[in-house]
Amino acid sequence: MKISCNRLKSYIKDSDSIDWLKIWDLFTIRTAEVENVTIKGNDMKDVVVAQITECKEHPTKPKYHLLKVTDGEKNYNILCGAPNVRTGLKAPLVKVGGMVSNITIAAKCIAGFTSEGMLCSGTELGINDYSEGIIELPDDAPLGVDLKEYLPINDIIVEIDNKSLTNRPDLWGHYGIAREIAAITNHKLLPLDV
């Protein structure tokens, strides 16, 4: 079972005083085995909210689109193979020199067109398994804002062994794990909105 520490924090009063990397050793000793702790968001930089202002098919490669994209301050030429691109769409843009999944993005000539950045799918950002197209952000997403400020991407994801939880149905979700963490750290558990 995978647990988001961001979500756990919303259930525990004064959760900022908990060391969310070290607490899992105590959790393993007292409750259930933690298999893995992953820090999310450290592997990306210069990823901003951008909008497609123009979308054309590539003249010789029909699977590619030639895009004009803006972050509100600067315009970029992007080559993209995602099927869901269209004029007006807001999406995450990795600028040249930026990084996603520990890969630094450079201006690159592909199919005779220089791409000045990259629009990203959820898989490329490491936030979900959707790779059939780029992430579509809401129309009210503010242009140029760092994606980590707009979406709660910075997180610690904890993987807990399911076998060690079979006899503890009270721990089969975020609220149950938050209750256990609150008990271990002597913090107050906030009521669950039902």
Q: What is the dihedral of CA 84, 87, 92, 97, to 10 degrees?
A: 110
**Integer angstrom CA distances of residue 71 from 56, 77, 85, 165:** 19, 12, 16, 46
pTM here?
0.75
pLDDT digits (tens, 9 = 90+) for 111-140: 888 999 999 988 888 777 767 889 999 999
Residue 106 backbone phi and psi in degrees, to 5: -125, 155
The HSE-up count of residue 7 (CA atoms within 13 Å, CB side) is 11
Residue ranges in the chain modelled with pLDDT below 70: 130
pLDDT digits (tens, 9 = 90+) for 21-47: 999 999 999 999 999 998 888 888 999
